[in-house]
Chains A and B, each alone.
Chain A
Amino acid sequence: MAELIYDETGRLLFTEEMRREYTILVPMMLPIHMTFLTRVLAQNGFQVELLSSVNREIVDLGLESVHNDTCYPALLVIGQMMEALQSGRYDLDKVALIITQTGGGCRASNYIHLLRKALKKRGLAHIPVISFNLAGMEKNPGFRFPVKVYVELLGIIVYADLIMNLSNQTRPYELHPGQTDALVEAWTRRLLDMHLSLRRLKRSLAQITADFAAIPMNREAQKVTVGVVGEIYIKYAALGNNNLERLLADEGCEVVVPGLLDFIIFMGDHHVVDTKRYRIKFKKGLVSLLIKVVFSFFQRRLIGAVRTQPVFRAPADFGTIKRLAGGYVSDGNKMGEGWLLTGEMLELIHAGIGNIICTQPFGCLPNHIVGKGMIRAIREDHKDANIVAIDYDPGATRTNQENRIKLMLTIAREKLQNQ
């Protein structure tokens, strides 16, 4: 075990020594993004492992580790880590954990603290927890990178968002099953070889788009298109949503999942908005503005690339989503996914994707308002909108969820036939 060093608040630090000796466990959320992330970290001398286990024990360990009424994502992420620590696969004196930290008035800002509490209760307080965030919270001496790595981390979000978006559009239609996934893997490798360079961003994005467009597809049979929005973890993580994307694929649907870029721009944007609205200064003000400007630029590039191939539907940019949400919730509504969630539903509807699954952990506080709370108003203005809200929690059974999703799909198919 490395020497345990604490900062002035008593937080266990991840040190240089640990960097050399420890394996960092990363919880799974977005497969493409996380694969990039782990490989980039590995290229930079970290030993990283992506936790992809999916079993009932995760939920049970989560229930044991955190308060039962804690949000389901925290329960799953922490459960997944506890399962890994318990599995015997790792030397518990040479392992570290990493978790994202968002900040803000939602419960989610407490995940990292709940994780530390859970470790303490299991007598594992010597395991360091790294906060992964863009806002410079909780620094660790062993988790610092040269500038070029930060650039690579930025690149992950742009490239992975594009690949996720395109692969979702080709996979349901590919003539030769497996071709899309093969291309995803091929480009993942290639981009890593290029160190996710952003130098010739425009060209790389266009190249990727062209490659996906070249996949032979059968576009004759019209498929039901379903948008998935909601709380960020449940929306993206198969562990959280009982493998919703697979379920929809098996039902013969095309799935549309909004990218991570919007959420990141949103995180920067709301600080900028609040600063202006309340005329108060935030410590993170400048960083936030920078995040907003830089990622908005990337997003425009991404959209531009998708537009080069008319076969693909390009996502709307952040500004458009924000404008759409404006008629329903204020842009001051910033906790959790905030107004972005309402905006994503509206963006999907405006893009002609009226079938929407709004996913949330049972009892998610912000989603009471921006998710379930806005569906009525959205339906009033868009009579055709076919939105179903699905709750996920340790007790909700798949049968119940599937039944509700099937209902939504039946209406969707009926709509498609009548077109």
Chain B
Amino acid sequence: MNNNCEFHIGVDIGSTTVKVVVLDDNKQIRFKRYQRHHSRSRETAAEMLREALDAIGSDAPVTVAFSGSAALKAAAAAGLPFVQEVFATRVAVRERVGEADVVVELGGEDAKILFLTNGAEERMNGSCAGGTGAFIDQMASLLSLSLPELDKLSFEHKHIYHIASRCGVFAKSDIQPLLNQGAVKSDIAASIYQSIVSQTIAGLAQGREIKGRVCFLGGPLTFLKGLRERFVKTMELDGAHAVFPEDAEYYVAIGAALRGGEGEKMLPGEILDRLLNAQKQDDASDALPPLFESKEAYEAFRLRHGKNAVPRADLASYAGDAWVGIDAGSTTTKLVLIDGEGRLLFRYYASNHGDPLSVVRAQLIAIREQCGARVRIRGAAVTGYGEELIKNAFRCDEGIVETTAHYYAAKAFNPDVDFIIDIGGQDMKCFKLRRGVVDSIMLNEACSSGCGSFIEAFASALGHSPAEFARLGLFAKKPVNLGSRCTVFMNSSVKQAQNDGAGVDDISAGLSVSVVKNAVYKVIRARKAAELGENIVVQGGTFLNDAILRAFEMEIGRDVTRPEIAGLMGAYGAALYSRERGGSESSLMALAELRDFSCSARSTRCGLCLNRCRLTINTFSGGRRFVSGNRCEKPLGGRDSDIPDAYEFKKELLMAFRPRENAPLGKIGLPMGLGLYELLPFWHTLLTEIGFEVAHSGLSTRDLYLQGQHTIPSDTVCYPAKLAHGHIERLLAEGVTTIFNPCLPYNFDQGMGDNHYNCPVVAFYPELLLANIPRLKEKNVRYLAPYMAPHATKSFPGLAAKYFRQTFGVKPGVTRAAVKKAYKAYEDYQEAVYAFGDRALAWAGEHNAQSIILAGRPYHIDPEINHGIHKLLTQLGLVTLSEDCLRPRGYSNVSVLNQWTYHSRLYAAAKYVTEHERVQLVQLISFGCGLDAITSDEVKEILERGERIYTLIKIDEISNLGAAKIRLRSLIEATK
């Protein structure tokens, strides 16, 4: 290179890669390099710096500056200049792109939006916005595709599925069922991209519109053309307004070089010295005790667990009866064939590569071929996520819920088993057994999935195979303490550990410990080992990892049983179950049929009701069809049953409130969100009676959510609150110019608790909507969010009269009369709901049916919030009640402060259940609901004191009901 000018070096150490650029005096790029660092960030940076300095080819002083999330500590330790990365981006954009209004940058794990004009603002993803680049990597490996393949496929999509946009784990639990149901990969690829776009808009822009000239930066947006397309299309940008500059992945490094250019010059040698000699600080991350102190200890451990083997028999020579068990898991498929003594004739365990059908088909062919005429297959049972699809495709005899399958298998190893924990690819199931029935189930809720596939993803990100990665951890001297929070957050914990100089072995061991801690404290929520049980059986592929098994034993301080076939337990249990059923001949496809088998999948939307379920229709060879994704029998040609369903009943009751036409005061809008779900009868009547045409915004839909999502300021608030934004948009779209949305700190007092508050979100969200939806002001909408207290029946009529006189000139007498009617309407509504409850319970008695109280909040009746869970119940033949259709039964004394109206009902419902044998309770919780952290523990305690099973279902914007189904089916099994 030319020696006559000065050089400025910028180094960007990101979460997964290092970028180095050298600029000359004219700000031209003279050298650039991009490389993954596999957690050796400092060493990689130093090597690349040396290359850059070699390329410059002189010893003249240069400037250098570091940037990027992983450079913070390195630069500080080395005493080298650091430029905050968003700031660096801004500097680079100003220099190279010029006028741009917004910058969207996606990196390995960071996402940023910079608003450059009209009040500069810079936003980065917060603690709950998972991966971007790393997320695409994860998704690609889930689909067994390379990034270019994924990108290419995305252009062939026909449909976009909704995939949760918040973080990788959510998306995974959306994608997996799609895969298992046979959805097309090209559609999924495009849907993954779309989820990133939504994430960027909802999570980052937070109420600020992305408009003007938008500049796209970062690796993923440089390499992935399909992703670009989704951004451009969604943001409705034309060519002039979407800028994809050259060297986009280097912008942070360029910015650092530019900014650093203003600083002091240093000798190249000195820069390298400082970087390499900088003391590694390992203060922040405290170490855990090693998993094994010595090789001997490990050997003893191996020996102890080696005892739990299953006898084998040779299929090639075996003649007689046999049973097939299939576990179509989320990421892996397991098959076994057993004989009458439970001996293993055949076993299979492998990743399903996103295509469980063909994996199962190939193995069934192998089994049938080896069996020949010697072996008679008397039964085939299937369990797991893909249960229904596999069962229908290959005509298996039984489909059983996973908990049952695992119990059958565990019993074979330890007849006294009282606790089973199964950690699979992406789900974790734990259950207690009491007197031979499943007593309580703990599944990882949507936010803490991860588990096995999570470790795999980390292993490959750090450049190791999963097995090798696990082995490294066994003898790590100082495992890193990564905490026990949801595994998504682990990305940044690992990043921090790397910053602090932890080695791969320490990270591997640390991850094992954290997976275990997550299971013990987050999923099981155990306080003491004794709580788990005396006879613990651990299973699932993840426990084949000795590091995790060891970490688990250390954490609970007790030896456990790990069957040699830990990964096959679901399939083994299914086969044992099938054997117990004692059928004489399996209906499983014969060899010729299996060979001819083919399947095509197509997706469509069901138009038969408001839920508009996304259906996947699999057509098998011979024209048989299997529909999945439905929540009721309608698309299958069935009709709604006559089983009582309080959710359906309440919904219809509320939707019957229609506007009065030709109202003297004109139209007023009521957004159907949060508190209004219960108080609609009250406010609707009041406003109608004083002379308004009351237009409420109706039930929520996915589209409604999307219309409002760009104005949501806090991405961790509950989904029901987020939907409120869409309801305002819908009212605006309908041309409503006056909106009434009162703030109610207090709800009606039903005398059931110490107080009768609303939760802070229900109480005050109306104010937030005004502050965050710019269109309300732009359109000069009269948005009224008065603070009111209708529970104070003495003072409210007068105060309301005053308010409506001042606001609309309504005569006080009119309002007073209207208030009277409103109270009556509310009472009538409640009475109707109570009466329904009475009827439903009577019906259950007459038909000898089980009833379930689906205990949540009034707003949980919205189909977009409950995702049709109540229909799942009626489908299973259960009478569905809600927490508010039980008549109030007076004050209930609980061990927490019972001070919220809605929540008091939960405690009362739990008490009711403990007194009624044929009624069960399932608690419905919205993700992000802080109050339910308190109520769920308490409800559980009440139920368990009454020897009843507590079942919890967490819901969010995800409409995948897989986990909910497992819980509900297990509950039914257990209460049979």
Of A106, A379, A404, the contact of B760 (CB 8 Å cutoff): A106
Within 8 A of A (CB), among B471-508: 481, 483-486, 489, 492-493, 495-496, 499
**Per-position binary interface string of chain B over residues 702-713, scored 1 when its CB falls under 8 Å from any chain A CB and 0 otherwise:** 000000000001
- Which of B678-686, B879-887, B892-900 forms part of the interface with chain A? B892-900
**C-alpha gap A56/B527 in the complex (Å):** 17
Of B84, B765, B896, the contact of A113 (CB 8 Å cutoff): B896
- Minimal Cβ-Cβ distance residue in A for B88: A410
**Per-position binary interface string of chain A over residues 379-417, scored 1 when its CB falls under 8 Å from any chain B CB and 0 otherwise:** 100010000010101111111101110110111000000
A64: chain B residues at CB < 8 Å are: 521, 527
Asked whether any CB of chain A lies closer than 8 Å to the CB of B4, the reply is: no
Quick one: given A106-B760, A398-B284, are A373 and B485 in contact (CB under 8 Å)?
no
Quick one: given A332-B787, A373-B714, are A399 and B492 in contact (CB under 8 Å)?
yes
B46: chain A residues at CB < 8 Å are: none
Asked whether any CB of chain B lies closer than 8 Å to the CB of A218, the reply is: no
- Which of A142-150, A152-160, A274-282, A300-308 forms part of the interface with chain B? A274-282
B495: chain A residues at CB < 8 Å are: 397, 399
A363 B771 Cβ-Cβ under 8 A: no
How many residue-residue contacts, CB under 8 A, span A and B?
211
Asked whether any CB of chain A lies closer than 8 Å to the CB of B553, the reply is: no
Distance in Å: Cβ of B104 to nearest Cβ of chain A: 16
A407 B122 Cβ-Cβ under 8 A: yes
B728: chain A residues at CB < 8 Å are: none
Asked whether any CB of chain A lies closer than 8 Å to the CB of B127, the reply is: yes
Of B128, B525, B759, the contact of A365 (CB 8 Å cutoff): B759
A410 B84 Cβ-Cβ under 8 A: yes
Of B83, B717, B899, the contact of A105 (CB 8 Å cutoff): B899
B896 A110 Cβ-Cβ under 8 A: yes
Within 8 A of A (CB), among B513-557: 521-522, 525, 527
**C-alpha gap A122/B531 in the complex (Å):** 12
**C-alpha gap A274/B746 in the complex (Å):** 11
B120: chain A residues at CB < 8 Å are: 411
**Per-position binary interface string of chain B over residues 440-451, scored 1 when its CB falls under 8 Å from any chain A CB and 0 otherwise:** 000000000000
Of A114, A362, A374, the contact of B127 (CB 8 Å cutoff): A362
A67 B525 Cβ-Cβ under 8 A: yes
Within 8 A of A (CB), among B91-129: 119-122, 124, 126-128
Quick one: given A113-B897, A277-B787, are A395 and B771 in contact (CB under 8 Å)?
no
Of B522, B745, B768, B798, the contact of A332 (CB 8 Å cutoff): B745
**C-alpha gap A119/B654 in the complex (Å):** 44
Asked whether any CB of chain B lies closer than 8 Å to the CB of A372, the reply is: yes
Asked whether any CB of chain A lies closer than 8 Å to the CB of B297, the reply is: no
Of B127, B284, B933, the contact of A68 (CB 8 Å cutoff): B933
B761 A369 Cβ-Cβ under 8 A: yes
Distance in Å: Cβ of B200 to nearest Cβ of chain A: 17
Quick one: given A105-B759, A105-B760, are A374 and B771 in contact (CB under 8 Å)?
yes
Asked whether any CB of chain B lies closer than 8 Å to the CB of A330, the reply is: yes
- Minimal Cβ-Cβ distance residue in A for B83: A410
**Per-position binary interface string of chain B over residues 779-800, scored 1 when its CB falls under 8 Å from any chain A CB and 0 otherwise:** 0000001011100101110110
B745 A105 Cβ-Cβ under 8 A: yes
- Minimal Cβ-Cβ distance residue in A for B531: A121
Quick one: given A68-B521, A411-B87, are A116 and B895 in contact (CB under 8 Å)?
yes
A399: chain B residues at CB < 8 Å are: 69, 72-73, 492, 495-496, 499
Asked whether any CB of chain B lies closer than 8 Å to the CB of A211, the reply is: no
Count residues on chain B whose CB falls below 8 Å from chain A CBs.
81
- Which of A19-27, A41-49, A261-269, A333-341 forms part of the interface with chain B? A333-341
Distance in Å: Cβ of B213 to nearest Cβ of chain A: 20
**C-alpha gap A402/B930 in the complex (Å):** 26
**Per-position binary interface string of chain A over residues 359-376, scored 1 when its CB falls under 8 Å from any chain B CB and 0 otherwise:** 000111111111011111
Asked whether any CB of chain B lies closer than 8 Å to the CB of A109, the reply is: yes
A376 B759 Cβ-Cβ under 8 A: no
Distance in Å: Cβ of A59 to nearest Cβ of chain B: 7
A393: chain B residues at CB < 8 Å are: 127, 485
Asked whether any CB of chain A lies closer than 8 Å to the CB of B593, the reply is: no
A395 B493 Cβ-Cβ under 8 A: yes
The range of chain A's interface size is: 35 or more
**Per-position binary interface string of chain A over residues 85-124, scored 1 when its CB falls under 8 Å from any chain B CB and 0 otherwise:** 0000000000000000000111101100110110001100
Quick one: given A335-B760, A379-B119, A397-B496, are A278 and B795 in contact (CB under 8 Å)?
yes
Asked whether any CB of chain A lies closer than 8 Å to the CB of B643, the reply is: no
Asked whether any CB of chain B lies closer than 8 Å to the CB of A70, the reply is: yes
**C-alpha gap A116/B932 in the complex (Å):** 18
- Minimal Cβ-Cβ distance residue in B for A333: B764
Distance in Å: Cβ of B86 to nearest Cβ of chain A: 5
A335 B745 Cβ-Cβ under 8 A: yes
A336 B119 Cβ-Cβ under 8 A: no
Of B483, B798, B930, the contact of A59 (CB 8 Å cutoff): B483
B772: chain A residues at CB < 8 Å are: 373, 376-377
Within 8 A of A (CB), among B52-83: 69, 72-73, 83
B771 A107 Cβ-Cβ under 8 A: no
- Minimal Cβ-Cβ distance residue in B for A389: B126
Quick one: given A64-B521, A373-B768, A379-B119, are A395 and B127 in contact (CB under 8 Å)?
yes
Asked whether any CB of chain B lies closer than 8 Å to the CB of A65, the reply is: yes
Asked whether any CB of chain B lies closer than 8 Å to the CB of A16, the reply is: no
Distance in Å: Cβ of B942 to nearest Cβ of chain A: 13
A369 B767 Cβ-Cβ under 8 A: yes
Asked whether any CB of chain A lies closer than 8 Å to the CB of B208, the reply is: yes
**C-alpha gap A335/B767 in the complex (Å):** 14
A105 B763 Cβ-Cβ under 8 A: yes
A65 B527 Cβ-Cβ under 8 A: yes
A368 B84 Cβ-Cβ under 8 A: no
A105: chain B residues at CB < 8 Å are: 745, 755, 757-760, 763, 899-900
Asked whether any CB of chain B lies closer than 8 Å to the CB of A51, the reply is: no
- Minimal Cβ-Cβ distance residue in A for B896: A113
Asked whether any CB of chain B lies closer than 8 Å to the CB of A71, the reply is: yes
A400: chain B residues at CB < 8 Å are: 69, 127, 492
A404 B713 Cβ-Cβ under 8 A: no
A104: chain B residues at CB < 8 Å are: 757
Distance in Å: Cβ of B210 to nearest Cβ of chain A: 14
Quick one: given A69-B930, A113-B896, A368-B761, are A377 and B84 in contact (CB under 8 Å)?
no
Asked whether any CB of chain B lies closer than 8 Å to the CB of A60, the reply is: yes
B69: chain A residues at CB < 8 Å are: 399-400, 403
Distance in Å: Cβ of A64 to nearest Cβ of chain B: 6
- Minimal Cβ-Cβ distance residue in A for B796: A278
A404: chain B residues at CB < 8 Å are: 124, 126
A289: chain B residues at CB < 8 Å are: none
- Minimal Cβ-Cβ distance residue in B for A336: B760
Asked whether any CB of chain B lies closer than 8 Å to the CB of A201, the reply is: no
**C-alpha gap A363/B84 in the complex (Å):** 27
A403 B124 Cβ-Cβ under 8 A: yes
**C-alpha gap A336/B122 in the complex (Å):** 28
Quick one: given A56-B481, A67-B937, are A396 and B527 in contact (CB under 8 Å)?
no
Asked whether any CB of chain B lies closer than 8 Å to the CB of A287, the reply is: no
B25: chain A residues at CB < 8 Å are: none
Asked whether any CB of chain B lies closer than 8 Å to the CB of A63, the reply is: yes
8 A–B contact pairs at CB < 8 A?
A: A9-B893, A67-B525, A68-B525, A107-B931, A279-B794, A365-B760, A377-B772, A403-B85
Interface, chain B (partner A; CB < 8 A)? 69, 72-73, 83-87, 119-122, 124, 126-128, 206-208, 284, 286, 481, 483-486, 489, 492-493, 495-496, 499, 521-522, 525, 527, 713-714, 716-717, 721, 743, 745-746, 755, 757-761, 763-765, 767-768, 771-772, 785, 787-789, 792, 794-796, 798-799, 893, 895-897, 899-900, 928, 930-934, 936-937
Interface, chain A (partner B; CB < 8 A)? 9, 56, 59-60, 63-65, 67-71, 104-107, 109-110, 113-114, 116-117, 121-122, 274, 277-280, 328-330, 332-336, 362-370, 372-377, 379, 383, 389, 391, 393-400, 402-404, 406-407, 409-411
9 closest A-B pairs by beta carbon, nearest first, are A395-B485, A395-B489, A105-B757, A279-B795, A332-B787, A69-B933, A278-B789, A377-B771, A373-B768
